[in-house]
Amino acid sequence: MSPNQATSSTNSSNSSNSSNSSKHLLSKRVYVSLDTTARSKGSDLIADQVSRQLKLQPELAATLVRNGSRGMFWLEPLLEVETPQGRVAYGPVKPADVSEILNAQAFNDVTNHPLCLGLTEQIPWLKEQQRLTFARVGVIDPIDVADYQANGGFVGLQQALEKSPQQIVDQVKTSGLRGRGGAAFPTGIKWQTVLDEVPQQKYIVCNADEGDSGTFADRMLMEGDPFVLIEGMIIAGLAVGANQGYIYLRSEYPQAHKILNQAIANAQAAGFVGDNICGHDFNFNLEVRLGAGAYICGEETSLLESLEGKRGLVRAKPPLPAIEGLFGRPTIVNNVISLASVPYILSYGGEAYRDYGIGRSRGTLPIQLAGNVAQGGLVELAFGISLKELIARYGKGTKTKRPMRSIQVGGPLGAYLPQHQWDTPLDYEAFSAIGAVLGHGGIVIFDDSVDMAAQARFAMEFCVAESCGKCTPCRIGSTRGVEVIDKLLAADDEQRPAHLELLNDLCDTMEFGSLCAMGGMTPFPVRSALKFFPSDFSLTDSQPAEQQPSSTEAP
Ligand SMILES: Cc1cc2nc3c(=O)[nH]c(=O)nc-3n(C[C@H](O)[C@H](O)[C@H](O)COP(=O)(O)O)c2cc1C
Ligand code: SF4
């Protein structure tokens, strides 16, 4: 089935939300995910098979729902069946298994089936998480407003509608929420800056460009629970006096695009988007705009240029986007997960969110386990768990069963961490202290077959391809960086120190002279590879440590 067909079948099964909801009360539900990863593993075939079987056996009296993914990607395609005890999961399912599962289910013979995983909510991998932002992902029908509301949706908005803008901003400040897009800037302070600007046209912009390697939390959330993002954006609009929102979505996410558009239309039909929201004197409109595949368009000022219809070139700051953002007006630019965390904060209060986490890293982090990992997927946990424990408990080591050698955290500009740093807790400050970043929570695992010199070269190459070209250290520096690494790798013992010195100088120039973090952070993966994996560059253990300054601060 093509992506279009899959979505249209999703939409048609949800075209009338209210009648759908009453149908849900009358019939059992069978769930098969429409998440992009689940579909890549064959969930559309399973959904087709379920539809066929339910037609063949009307006595099963069940309805197919295409939900988001629970994030257990090694178990996709996952099939869940409603029972009086709760939802029972089976996976990974093949089309040939469907009839047997549905019939076993009809006779309540659940536990005997070899693919049965028991009650979904009791699967330890899922049960032990702290899902605040992802609470409904994989649980509800993503575009059914009634299902969203039946699971606590729009309660945060109702609370916000009863508060003053300052009270809303104060709740976000109390929560300690920091931007999940990478820079970890306090969200409440950003909102306060926009609120404090004189009343005028203001904007809420959601950064859904999600370009970091190994990250998919934004996509999963938009495909599995788009209303929580929509609700977060409406609350942001109420908080700062903005009546227009834009979701800047990467074009590589066609499924998220369709689901978001359908969800916005359904929210509008239900009176949550548009004029006089919930009968209050407040209007908020929302549109999705597609990017065109440039990593740098995830950088907030470049994103704003792109939204204005221009080439995605980074703007110098100041002025901050909060003061002069989209079309020169005060603008909140927040990541998908930052905005989607807000409804929980307004529903349960800032303190409830702040109670999770450690130090200045409050709340939860949706962590994405990717690369060479046995159990890849999405884990939402309070900040503070160590990388080692996280991978042992949830990732279960490498997929190849070879020893882990290196872990890259925080996307393509993040440092490569060697074994002795795997005890570091997931906490913005702890990561900064070791010269690393948490970024968007993407974790990419490598086994002992990785060539770290090739990875360092790739970091420079990535910057060559993705630099916006505005400043020299990044535009020229990354091209020279690839050349110098090539020379270093080809050098003999005598020539090597000179090339190493030059590479270090170049890294300094990029780190301290670049206009934005693209050029400024590209040295992070390069330097960590040199420092902790010197043998891959034919360097001795002591050589690089003596010769390189250790870079720690993000620009
Ligand atoms: C090169 C580069 C790429 C970025 N890509 C993204 C991205 O894809 N998504 C995102 O939310 N933030 C990205 N950021 C961070 C944004 O500039 C900005 O900090 C963020 O959108 C602010 O939202 P937050 O405070 O909610 O994190 C990127 C930054 C840089 C320097
Ligand atoms: S560092 Fe690179 S991406 Fe950033 S402004 Fe300079 S050239 Fe553009």
Ligand 1 centroid distance, CA of 132 (Å): 22
Neighbour tally for 117: CB within 10 Å: 19
The confidence score (pLDDT) of residue 28 equals: 87
- Determine the residue of 133, 191, 300 to mutate for testing ligand 1's pocket, defined as the one with the most ligand atoms within 8 A of the Cβ atom: 300
Ligand 2 pocket, CB under 6 A = 296, 314, 467-471, 474-475, 514-516, 518-519
Atom of ligand 1 nearest to the CA of 302: 17
Task: Round to whole Å and give the CA distance between 347 and 337.
Answer: 16
pLDDT digits (tens, 9 = 90+) for 202-240: 999 999 999 999 999 999 999 999 999 999 999 999 999
- Determine the residue of 206, 207, 250 to mutate for testing ligand 1's pocket, defined as the one with the most ligand atoms within 8 A of the Cβ atom: 207
The closest residue, in CA terms, to atom 18 on ligand 1 is 300
Ligand 2 centroid distance, CA of 459 (Å): 15
Residue 118 scores a pLDDT above 80: yes
Ligand 1 pocket, CB under 6 A = 179-183, 185, 207, 209-211, 296, 298-300, 333-335, 338, 516-518
Ligand 1 centroid distance, CA of 182 (Å): 6
The closest alpha carbon to 485, from 470, 463, 466, belongs to 463
Residue 81 scores a pLDDT above 90: yes
Q: Which ligand is nearest to the CA of 514?
A: 2
Per the listing, tokens 């009360």 go with 25
- Strands in 79-83's sheet, in edge-to-edge order, are 62-67, 28-33, 79-83, 86-90, 116-119
The closest residue, in CA terms, to atom 1 on ligand 2 is 519
Please state the three-class secondary structure of 257-319 as a single string. HHHHHHHHHHHHHCCCCECCHHHCCCCEEEEEEECCCCHHHHCHHHHHHHHCCCCCCCCCCCC
Which helix (H) or strand (E) is 532 found in, with range?
helix 523-532
Is the bond into 534 cis (omega within 30 degrees of 0)?
A: no
> Six-digit token pair at 307?
């939204």
Q: Name the burial class of residue 309, with classes exposed (0-12), middle (13-18) and buried (19+) by CB atoms within 10 angstroms of its CB.
A: exposed
Task: Round to whole Å and give the CA distance between 486 and 424.
Answer: 32
Atom of ligand 2 nearest to the CA of 510: 1
Task: Round to whole Å and give the CA distance between 366 and 347.
Answer: 19
Residues in the chain: 555
Atom of ligand 2 nearest to the CA of 466: 3
Neighbour tally for 107: CB within 10 Å: 8
The set of residues, in sequence order, having a beta carbon less than 8 Å from that of 135 and lying 6+ positions away, is: 151, 152, 344
The confidence score (pLDDT) of residue 317 equals: 95
The closest residue, in CA terms, to atom 25 on ligand 1 is 179
Q: What share of the chain is helix, strand, coil (3-state, %, to 5)?
A: 50, 15, 35
Decide: pTM greater than 0.85.
yes
Q: Which ligand is nearest to the CA of 300?
A: 1
The confidence score (pLDDT) of residue 17 equals: 39
Residue 545 scores a pLDDT above 60: no
Q: Which ligand is nearest to the CA of 206?
A: 1
3-state secondary structure of 412: coil
DSSP 120-158: GGG-HHHHTS--STTTTTTTS-TT-HHHHHHTTTTHHHH
Task: Round to whole Å and give the CA distance between 416 and 335.
Answer: 24
Q: How far is CA 240 from the centre of its chain?
A: 25
Residue 20 scores a pLDDT above 70: no
Is the bond into 319 cis (omega within 30 degrees of 0)?
A: yes
pLDDT digits (tens, 9 = 90+) for 381-405: 999 999 999 999 999 999 999 999 9
Sign of the torsion formed by the C-alpha atoms of 500, 505, 511 and 515: negative
pLDDT digits (tens, 9 = 90+) for 43-77: 999 999 999 999 999 999 999 999 999 999 999 99
Atom of ligand 1 nearest to the CA of 190: 25
Atom of ligand 1 nearest to the CA of 296: 1
Q: What is the CA radius of gyration of the chain?
A: 24
Q: Which ligand is nearest to the CA of 298?
A: 1
pLDDT digits (tens, 9 = 90+) for 416-443: 999 999 999 999 999 999 999 999 999 9
Task: Round to whole Å and give the CA distance between 108 and 28.
Answer: 13
Atom of ligand 1 nearest to the CA of 518: 1
Ligand 2 centroid distance, CA of 513 (Å): 10
User: CA 235 → CA 125, 245, 289, 342, 366, distances in Å?
Assistant: 32, 11, 20, 8, 21
Per the listing, tokens 């100088």 go with 505
Per the listing, tokens 């490569």 go with 416
| Residue type (1 letter), 341 | S
pLDDT digits (tens, 9 = 90+) for 343-355: 999 999 999 999 9
Ligand 1 centroid distance, CA of 296 (Å): 9
The set of residues, in sequence order, having a beta carbon less than 8 Å from that of 429 and lying 6+ positions away, is: 359, 360, 361
pLDDT digits (tens, 9 = 90+) for 288-344: 999 999 999 999 999 999 999 999 999 999 999 999 999 999 999 999 999 999 999
The closest alpha carbon to 59, from 94, 28, 88, belongs to 28
Task: Round to whole Å and give the CA distance between 185 and 518.
Answer: 17
Which helix (H) or strand (E) is 116 found in, with range?
strand 116-119
Ligand 1 centroid distance, CA of 179 (Å): 9
Q: Which ligand is nearest to the CA of 520?
A: 2
Atom of ligand 2 nearest to the CA of 475: 7
Ligand 2 centroid distance, CA of 313 (Å): 8
Ligand 2 centroid distance, CA of 520 (Å): 8
The closest alpha carbon to 123, from 154, 98, 149, 87, belongs to 87
Q: Which ligand is nearest to the CA of 316?
A: 2
The closest residue, in CA terms, to atom 8 on ligand 2 is 468
Are β-strands 364-371 and 28-33 bridged in parallel, bridged antiparallel, or unpaired? unpaired
3-state secondary structure of 450: coil
The confidence score (pLDDT) of residue 542 equals: 54
Q: Which ligand is nearest to the CA of 314?
A: 2
Atom of ligand 1 nearest to the CA of 295: 3
Residue 7 scores a pLDDT above 90: no
Helix axes 226-240, 217-224, angle to 10 degrees: 100
Ligand 2 centroid distance, CA of 417 (Å): 25
- Angle subtended at Cα 324 by Cα 318 and Cα 327, rounded to the nearest 5 degrees: 135
Sign of the torsion formed by the C-alpha atoms of 264, 268, 274 and 280: negative
